[in-house]
Amino acid sequence: MRSSTMILLGSVALVAALAVSDRIGGPRAMLIEPAIAATPVAPPPPPAFRTVTSSSCPANGCPTTCEADEALISAICIGSTGAKFSDNLLIENGQITASCGPSSTAIVVSCARK
């Protein structure tokens, strides 16, 4: 016999044996159980520090504040000749707003979670 005929006959015999064993209560193919739903993972907490930048200083002084659950750590006014800490701080309803003078081009504020 040719090898292809042998393979075909072997396959037929295997299928027949499985069909007969299934009818007489022999071993059955086991179904794979569905995967258990993965436990949802909580999103990572927000970063402890955040930087806010504004560049409207020549028009309005770049008033910048942090969110209600954050504290303003530093405010740096950036100008064409250098940078300096903001000395214009306003406290309203427990929130600090920092601003710069008209010679500044931007402000960089660092905020930290409370």
- Per-residue pLDDT reduced to its tens digit, 41-61: 888 887 899 999 998 888 888
* High-pLDDT (> 70) share of the chain, %: 67
Selection from 71, 60, 73 nearest residue 102 by Cα = 60
Read off the pTM. Answer: 0.58
Alpha helices, DSSP H, located in the chain: 3-23, 57-60
Question: What are the pLDDT digits (tens) for 88-108?
Answer: 999 988 899 999 988 899 999
